[in-house]
Chains A and B, each alone.
Chain A
């Protein structure tokens, strides 16, 4: 069983646009599991938020153990498919029925191919129960879903943090925009976000790298939509793709092969950025194939003292100890660990005095919108496969004038224009020599689409519970997910489609098709809540700095902590909350408060 790389196996990575990186990509592995059982901090999970926890804590001089349930992925070295094209695979990148069975939950996305299948969890080994339909997409290896994410990166606004207090749904956030704003800036400067500043209160600007370009059709459509609807804006997507070199990382080469791994380190992932930075301190130890079973609570000390881990390969149960624990296993996995962490003090799961642990699950609605064809610019084309599109920020319920009487909260759209290229060939009503010629020469019509993401309210009855009758490969209880859209989300979706069709009409598009795929929750892959932050321990699990109210040395800073879910993509907020909580932890440890 070889799962560790020798420490002295050093490699340096040369970047196209820069000198050598300061990152360290070969990790310190915990080779002898028994030898070092005690650390300053344990971080459960190495993905989007776990990477940030590891980096902040290591850089403060703490000895950190990062638990990863799957295999190690070393940046670049472990991207075997990053330069492959369709023709390099016998089946051109398609997967077999056996692979589909292995990923029987995740294949619903239609995104799994030969080149990225190994980044999706094995659903057969990791079952969950859909009490109501719910698509739970998981990534069980180093980097988690930060290797697969869409890179859309937006700040939440004051409107979002005030929403629950103002309309009475859920509980009030214990923080406001001003509390997180400096942390947004802090992580943005390091992550690298490209985008266009708009000065909108409902979508605060980030610290931006230069925006990616809109194509000519998108520019025309923007002008027409903004002309017809003065309160609406259309802008280039704000994305965690570098448009100029940053900290030794190269800029995006618009290959659009992100999920196969980026040789330029142009998109942000924990594998390419935060974990190597943590590793460069010499303070990080990674233990792969380590499934966090539960957090150990000491009734005398009234604190957590460590984490019980199942070795995924041997099934052995091992205990690691630390002064603080960061739970970053991903929204539902973190909650599963907490629910599984029972003691006399916490018989229903660690920190579950309120009974809210597992409840208030949210996601964004998905794939509701409109598309159409654009007439004009047939003599224009583009260069590059831009891993980005357009964004239309929320415009409903942002002030008195935009108040809806049909729903609370709002939605934003993503979308974009492109030519169909040879992919539209099957629809061309022709065959034979001329058909082949046009396939190779004529890029076909321009098509434009927008698709909405609506905010979901926090409902107590949308929940996950531990299912002790349905065990995973390691004999552990799995999750039963019981979640559905309700009246407000359905009303938002209706408005999304109506508005989308109307905007495309006003923009002069033809053959407009409004659509609502009626996807169940989970398709947004923005699951949030189930261990929410709040002001009152009686109604929430975490405090304003992401600590469990009654067990302050446990921090939960992934999507589980979210009190509401805005309508914008959440990763940036997870990162900012994590950096903020980690720095709070460091200062509390210095004050001997933890």
Chain B
């Protein structure tokens, strides 16, 4: 039922996504909030701020590039724009708003405005409360899949976007485009990390 309500709200707010980015950026500037450094194709500015902040919190920059370094946030906006059908787009917007509502209820601010430890507290709760993805067989998950919710599905998209980027997939993960004969049992230390492909 919650989902249906959310959809209704989305329908009312349906115009939001169509707002010109510059206009929204203007509103945002008036509120003296941090500017978005990229121009979303599908999301509004507040949703884009959420995407960037989530990516940065889940996959931060360390001695290896972070999610923002390899533009995972920009990719996610693009995927929502170009690979989601209208229904899926409405759902994702509603889910994002729902996620921000949770942050608001707890800390009185939306996610990207939170302090680092508050962000951490939100995500820790999500990690504990979100069901996990079932394993799959040949492209299709098996067993009874509980709805994983916005956070876990977003994290999945972020991990995929990160690991399938050229900077990570080619240069950080173990990339071997032409492995030759399959070797079924070698020391992990010999590989020294996770295969890219």
Q: Digit string of A168-189 for contact with B (CB within 8 Å is 1, else 0)?
A: 0000000000000000000000
Whether B183 sits at the interface, judged by CB under 8 Å, is: yes
Query: Most chain-A CB neighbours within 10 Å: which of B60, B62, B140?
Result: B140
B118-169 with Cβ < 8 A to chain A = 120, 123, 127-128, 132-135, 137-140, 142-143, 152-153, 155-156, 159-166, 168-169
Q: Is B102 an interface residue (CB 8 A)?
A: no
Report the interface size class on chain B.
35 or more
B66 within 8 A of A: yes
> Which residues of A lie under 8 Å from residue B195 when comparing CB positions?
381, 421, 443
CA separation between A41 and B177, bound complex, in Å?
A: 43
Known: A91-B83, A385-B197, A439-B159. A427 touches B132 (CB 8 A): yes
* A255 B194 Cβ-Cβ under 8 A: no
A426 on the B face (CB < 8 A): yes
B193 within 8 A of partner (CB) = yes
Contacts of B39 in A (CB 8 A): none
- Closest A residue, CB atoms, query B157: A426
- Are A436 and B66 in touch, CB under 8 angstroms? yes
- Establish whether residues B178 and A253, one from each chain, have CB atoms under 8 Å apart when the complex forms: yes
Would you call A379 and B188 a contact (CB within 8 A)?
yes
Q: How far is the CB of B64 from chain A (nearest CB, A)?
A: 7
Q: Decide if A94 touches B79 in the complex (CB within 8 Å).
A: yes
Interface residue ranges of A318-375 to B (CB < 8 Å): 367, 369, 371
The yes or no answer to A473 lying at the interface (CB within 8 A) is no
Q: Which of B85, B134, B138, B187 contacts A367 (CB 8 A)?
A: B138
Which chain A residues (94-127) contact chain B, with CB distance < 8 Å? 94-97, 100, 109-111
- Residues on A with C-beta less than 8 A from B170 are 85, 87
A253-B180, A383-B182, A384-B181 known; A447 and B58 CB under 8 Å?
no
Q: Are B163 and A110 within 8 A (Cβ)?
A: no
Contact A443 B138 (CB under 8 A): no
Structural contact, A426 and B62, CB atoms closer than 8 A: no
Q: Inside 8 A of B173's CB, which chain A residues have their CB? A: 422, 440
Instruction: State whether B163 touches A425 (Cβ < 8 A).
Output: yes
Known: A384-B183, A426-B156. A85 touches B60 (CB 8 A): no
The answer for the CA separation of A513 and B138 in the assembled complex, in Å, is: 15
- The reply to whether the CB of A316 lies closer than 8 angstroms to some CB of chain B is no
The reply to whether A215 and B184 contact each other, CB–CB distance below 8 Å, is yes
Rounded to whole angstroms, the CA-CA distance of A231 and B60 in the bound complex is 53
Contact status of A422 and B194, CB under 8 A, knowing A91-B79, A430-B127: yes
Q: In this assembly, does B113 line the interface, its C-beta being within 8 Å of a C-beta of chain A?
A: no
CB within 8 Å for A433 and B60 given contacts A92-B161, A385-B197, A440-B194:
yes
**Across the interface, which residues of A come within 8 angstroms of B177, CB to CB?**
83, 85, 255
B59 interface hit (Cβ, 8 Å): yes
Say yes or no for A405: interface residue by CB 8 A criterion: no
Asked if B109 is at the interface of the complex by the 8 Å CB criterion, the answer is no
Is A550 among interface residues, defined by CB-CB distance under 8 A?
Answer: no
B188/A97 in contact, CB under 8 A:
no
Tell which of A384, A421, A451 touches B182, judged by Cβ atoms closer than 8 Å.
A384
> Is residue B23 within 8 Å, beta carbon to beta carbon, of the partner chain?
no
B84 CB, nearest partner CB in chain A, Å = 7
CB contacts (< 8 Å) of B60 on chain A: these are 432-433, 436
Indicate whether A515 sits within 8 Å of B142 (C-beta atoms), given known contacts A87-B169, A440-B173. Answer: yes
**Contact assessment for A254 and B182 in the assembled complex, using a CB-CB cutoff below 8 Å:** yes
* A380:B187 contact, CB within 8 angstroms: yes
Q: Is the CB of B184 within 8 A of A451?
A: no
Q: Taking the complex as formed, is A72 at the interface, i.e. its CB lies under 8 A from any CB of chain B?
A: no
Least CB distance, A440 to chain B, in whole angstroms: 6
A437 interface contact, C-beta 8 A: yes
Between B57, B152, B184, B190, the greatest number of chain A beta carbons within 10 A of the residue's beta carbon is seen for: B184
- With A213-B183, A431-B155 as contacts: A422 and B163 at CB distance below 8 Å: yes
Expressed in whole angstroms, the minimum distance between the Cβ of A64 and any Cβ of chain B is: 36
Is the C-beta of B105 less than 8 angstroms from some C-beta in chain A? no
Q: Is B6's CB within 8 Å of the partner chain A?
A: no
Which chain A residues border B197 with CB–CB below 8 Å? 85, 256, 385
Do residues B123 and A443 form an inter-chain contact, with CB atoms below 8 A?
A: no
Q: Which residues of B contact A216 (CB under 8 A)?
A: 184-185
CA of A15 to CA of B161, assembled, Å: 34
* Most chain B C-beta atoms within 10 Å of own C-beta, residue among A385, A439, A449: A439
Which residues of chain A (416-432) have a CB below 8 Å from chain B?
A: 420-423, 425-427, 429-432
Q: Which residues of B contact A253 (CB under 8 A)?
A: 178-180
Q: State whether the Cβ of B114 lies closer than 8 Å to any Cβ in chain A.
A: no
Q: Whole-angstrom distance between the alpha carbons of A369 and B182 in the complex?
A: 26
The answer to whether B137 and A382 have CB atoms under 8 Å apart is no
**Interface check A90, CB cutoff 8 A:** yes
Q: Are A97 and B83 in contact (CB under 8 A)?
A: yes
Q: Which residue of A lies closest to B62 (CB)?
A: A433
Residue of A383, A433, A514 most packed against chain B (CB within 10 A) = A383
Specify which chain A residues have a CB less than 8 angstroms from the CB of B82 in the assembled complex: 90-91, 96
Contact yes or no, A422 B128, CB < 8 A: no
B189 CB–A CB distance under 8 Å? yes
CA of A215 to CA of B137 in the docked complex: distance in angstroms? 18
Which chain B positions have C-beta within 8 A of A377?
Answer: 185
Task: Check A383/B161 contact, CB under 8 A, given A213-B184, A427-B132, A449-B137.
Answer: no
Instruction: Tell me if B12 counts as interface (CB < 8 A to partner A).
Output: no
If the complex has contacts A433-B62, A449-B135, are A86 and B169 also in contact, measured as CB distance less than 8 A? Answer: yes
CB distance from B93 to the nearest CB of A (A): 16
B85, B169, B191: which contacts A97 (Cβ < 8 A)? B85
- A residues in contact with B166, CB < 8 Å: 85, 87
The digit string for A428-462, where 1 denotes a CB below 8 A from any CB of B, is 01111101110111110001010100000000000
Quote the shortest CB–CB distance from A89 to chain B (angstroms).
10
Complex Cα distance, B155 from A509, in Å, reads 28
Chain A residues near B168: list those with CB within 8 A: 440
Residues A517 and B184 in contact in the complex (CB < 8 Å), given A422-B159, A439-B159, A441-B193:
no
Q: Is B96 an interface residue (CB 8 A)?
A: no
A218 CB–B CB distance under 8 Å: yes
Shortest C-beta distance, A59 to chain B (Å), equals 33
Are B62 and A437 interface neighbours, CB within 8 A?
A: yes
Asked if B92 lies at the interface with its beta carbon under 8 angstroms from chain A, I say no
Is A214 part of the contact surface with B, judged by Cβ < 8 Å? yes
Q: Is A386 an interface residue (CB 8 A)?
A: yes
Given A382-B182, A440-B194, output 20 extra A-B contacts at Cβ < 8 Å. Answer: A86-B169, A97-B85, A212-B182, A213-B182, A216-B184, A253-B178, A255-B178, A380-B187, A381-B191, A383-B179, A384-B176, A384-B182, A385-B179, A427-B132, A432-B57, A432-B120, A435-B58, A439-B163, A513-B143, A515-B142
Interchain Cβ contacts under 8 Å between A and B, 5 examples: A86-B169, A255-B178, A369-B137, A380-B188, A421-B195
